[in-house]
Structure 1
Amino acid sequence: MIELSDNELMFRFPEIHQEAHLTVNFQRTLRIPDDQRDYPLPPGLGRFPLFHVDDYAANLPATWSRRGGVFLPMHQTEAMWISFDGDYPFAVKVATGKMNAVSGEAWTEPLMGEPQDYLVVPEQPWLDGYNVGHGRIRQFVAAPLGQGDTVEEQLTGEAVHGGIQIMAYPMKADHFEHFFSKRDRFWDEEICLEACAAPDMGLAAGGLMRQRIHEDPFGLQSWEQATASRCFVHILNSRHFQQVTGYAAPQEPPSAERYSLAGLPWFELQDDDFAALEGAPPLQQVESLKRRRVREGRSPLEDSATINPNQIVGLNASKASSGGSRC
């Protein structure tokens, strides 16, 4: 069962366990520079608003109604990160344009262990982009479909799906009782085109960020694959948002440079004790949005930020996995 409340998706599995629920929200954030430097984690600037596709079907592309789900508005070249919250363990697949953000492979419903193509929550509290390895990701950045910029288009040559796909698999009840009968001790020891484009948006690869994708500490057999839920999260170009919903579009976030000059914090998750996945070869070959725009002679993105080391706030991994703040 999936519910939408307070701009969050709630995945519930009462038939598996009374505690089996997971919340997912999508955070507005700074777009980090794409200058081949590794950046710390940018802040959350508030949740993107989420709307049921069915409530606005008359004003949306017909393909969105066929897929169902929800949608959120993004400005072109705006960045986001995905937040996961819940005490019950879940394996979570994340894809953009039906290309897996962890493995770089085409969407499949079964969980894959070699290579691992999912996150483990609550151990992984956030996902900011595409797994390129060496403890780094390339940031999720919005781009219109049809211009060749999105990861989907670069890996498949087609602009078909766009959006974000989320699928949640709860831990089997008996495995939960086995691993978490002494729950607190376990986690303390083991974790924690500038033109008005079509309404459809996908996600492209942005700058490099320091973020590790953790290995599954429980094993593939721990997840309830026969009972899973998925949701299609469409991305609506903000230029169409008022026409579709009647509401004014959210303002664009500040630049990373303006944010840093104001002395506001960046974040670093202290998770070196966790084993990290290798980078996904297909995602390592994806060209960043900035490089594509420069190569094609399109206007470059505003792209600079000077970060004082004193602005970087360290976050304990165990606290972050239980609801620690990046705001």
Structure 2
Amino acid sequence: MIELINNALVFRFPRVHSEATCTIDFQRTLRIPDDHREYPLPPGLGRFPVEHVDDFAERLPESWRQHGGVMIPMYQSEAMWVNFSGKYPCAVKIAAGKINAVSGKAWSNELSADPQDYVVIPEQPWLDGFNVSEDHIRQFVAMPLGEGHTAEEQITDEAQYGGLQIVVYPMKPEAYEQYRSRKQMVVEHLCCYSLDMDLEMGLAPGGLMKQEIYEDEYGIDSWDQEHGSRCFVHIANSATYETIVGRKPPHEPPTAKEYTAAGLPWFEYYADTKTLEGSNILGGLTSLAAKVIEKTGKPLQDNAPVEPKLVKEIHSNNIVREGEF
């Protein structure tokens, strides 16, 4: 069962375990410069508003109605990170346009151990983008489908799905009983997001960020793949969102340059957990800035390099990523 509560997706697996619950929300953030330099973690600027697709079915394309799920608005001037929370361990697969964001391979519902194509909660507190190399991701940034910028289009040469696809599997109860002595666990479920042509937005690889994706220390047999949950999450541009729901989306976020000039903090996260290697497929993607130059001969707007002056360390036992306001 999936519920939408306070702009977050809450996944419950009562048939697996009474405590098998996790939450996934989608955080607005700065679009870091896409200049081949490595940047620390940007702040969270609040949750994206999340709407039931069924509440606006008469205003939406047929493909949205078929996929169901939810939708969020995104400006092309911002980025997104996926936030995981909960106390029950879960395996979470995330794809963008049905391209797995961890392995770069085509979407499938089943988990794969070789290569690992999912993240594990609670060890993985969030995911900011595509797993392009060990300890590095390229940020999730929204672009219209059909222009060739998204990971989906670069890998498949098609602009069919867009959005995010997420699947979550809870830990088997017998495996959970072995680990329940852990004090903090984070669990999430999977969801899928998409939009129709002319309306649909997909996710393109943006700036390079230092972020680790952690190995599954429990083993693939710990996950109950008979009781997964899926949700399709559509991404609408800001103008489309206002037309559909009759409300304006949140204001545009500051640029990385504006945020840094204000003396606000960036972050570095540390955890003593073995990390995955990057995906060769995703590592071969052309970043958004390079694609824009390739197609238009002009540089990407608001892409000036910045030098973060205030970088705060956070550790697995004190996770908080918020801007100052």
Whole-Å separation in 1 of the counterparts to 2:268 and 2:39:
9
Task: Tell me if 1:279 matches 2:278.
Answer: yes
Maintained 8 Å contact 1:14/1:20: yes
Q: Residue in 1 aligned with 2:15?
A: 15
Q: Distance in 1 between matches of 2:41 and 2:321?
A: 12
1:37-56 map, 5 Å: 37-56=37-56
Q: Secondary structure at the match of 2:314?
A: strand
**Contact 1:172–1:222 under 8 Å retained in 2:** yes
Which segment drifts farther, 74-83 or 294-303?
294-303
In structure 2, the residue matched to 1:242 is: 242
Kindly indicate whether the alpha-carbon contact (under 8 Å) linking 1:26 and 1:80 is maintained by their aligned counterparts in 2.
Answer: yes
Per the alignment, residue 267 of structure 2 pairs with 267
What amino acid maps onto 2:318 in structure 1? K
Contact 1:77 1:143 (C-alpha < 8 Å) held by counterparts: no
2:109 is aligned to 109
Cα distance in 1 for partners of 2:142, 2:301 equals 13
Indicate conservation of the 8 Å contact 2:139/2:209, yes or no.
yes
Residue 326 (str. 1) matches residue 322 (str. 2): yes
Higher helix proportion: 1
Q: Is the 8 A contact 1:267 1:326 kept in 2?
A: no
**Cα pair 1:30 1:42 within 8 Å, conserved:** yes
Name the structure 2 match of 1:233. 233
> Do the aligned residues in 2 keep the contact of 1:96 with 1:162 (CA within 8 Å)?
yes
Q: Distance in 2 between matches of 1:236 and 1:159?
A: 15
Offset at residue 122 of structure 1 (A): 1.1
Residue type at the aligned position of 1:293: V
Provide the residue aligned with 1:191 in structure 2: none
- Equivalent residue, structure 1, for 2:313: 314
In structure 1, C-alpha distance between the alignment counterparts of 2:220 and 2:242, rounded to whole Å: 44
Query: For 1:259, what is the secondary structure of its paired residue?
Result: helix
Query: Would the aligned equivalents of 1:104 and 1:280 in 2 still touch at CA under 8 Å?
Result: yes
Letter in 2 for 1:159: A
Contact 1:260/1:305 (CA < 8 Å) preserved in 2? no
Shift of 1:61: 1.4
Rounded to whole Å, the distance in 2 between the matches of 1:86 and 1:53 is 25
Query: TM-score, length-normalised on structure 1?
Result: 0.92
Q: Quick one: distance in 1 between partners of 2:307 and 2:283? A: 26
Give the root-mean-square deviation of aligned CA atoms. 1.4
Amino acid in structure 2 at the alignment position of 1:55: D
Cα distance in structure 2, aligned partners of 1:107 and 1:284: 17
TM-score normalized by structure 2?
0.93
CA contact (8 A) 1:16 1:173 kept: yes
Q: What is the alpha-carbon distance in structure 2 between the residues aligned to residue 125 and residue 112 of structure 1?
A: 20
Aligned to 2:190: none
Shift in Å, 1:325:
3.5
Which position in structure 1 is the counterpart of 2:64?
A: 64
Superposition deviation, residue 220 in structure 1:
0.3
CA distance in 2, matches of 1:133, 1:142: 21
**Letter of the structure 2 residue corresponding to residue 257 of structure 1:** K
Q: Distance in 2 between matches of 1:207 and 1:50?
A: 25
Partner residue of 2:192? none
Counterpart contact for 1:146–1:159, Cα < 8 Å:
yes
CA distance in 1, matches of 2:126, 2:140: 12
Is this contact kept in 1: 2:77–2:252, CA < 8 A? Answer: no
Residues of 2 paired with 1:88 and 1:163: CA distance? 26
Does the 8 Å CA contact 1:37/1:208 hold for their aligned counterparts? yes
Q: Does the CA-based 8 Å contact 1:138-1:206 persist in structure 2?
A: yes
**Kept after mapping to 1: 8 A contact 2:33/2:306:** no
Gaps of 5+ in 1: 188-196
| Cα drift, residue 165 of structure 1 | 0.6
1:77 Cα shift?
4.2
Q: Deviations over 1:16-69 (max 9, x none)?
A: 111111100000000000111110000000000000111111111110001100
Deviation, 1:296, is: 1.2
Q: Per-residue deviation at 1:308?
A: 4.0
In 1, Cα distance between equivalents of 2:144 and 2:117: 26
Paired residues of 1:33 and 1:305 also in contact (CA < 8 A):
yes
Q: Which runs of 5+ in 2 are unaligned?
A: 186-196
Contact 1:36/1:208 (8 A) holds in 2:
yes
How many percent of aligned residue pairs carry the same amino acid?
Answer: 51
Q: Which residue of 2 aligns with 1:202?
A: 202
Tell me the CA shift for residue 198 of structure 1. 2.1
* SS in structure 2 of the partner of residue 319 of structure 1: coil
Task: Determine the C-alpha separation between the residues in 1 that align with 2:297 and 2:5.
Answer: 39
Q: Which residue of 1 aligns with 2:217?
A: 217
Note the alpha carbon deviations across 1:207-228, whole angstroms, 9 max, x for none.
Answer: 0000000000100000000100
- Distance change in 2, residues 1:298/1:250 (3 Å): farther
- Amino acid corresponding to residue 20 of structure 1 in structure 2: A
* Superposition deviation, residue 301 in structure 1: 2.2
Shift, 1:298, TM fit: 5.5
2:322 aligned partner, one-letter code: R
The question of whether the paired residues in 1 share the 8 Å contact of 2:102 and 2:118 is answered with yes
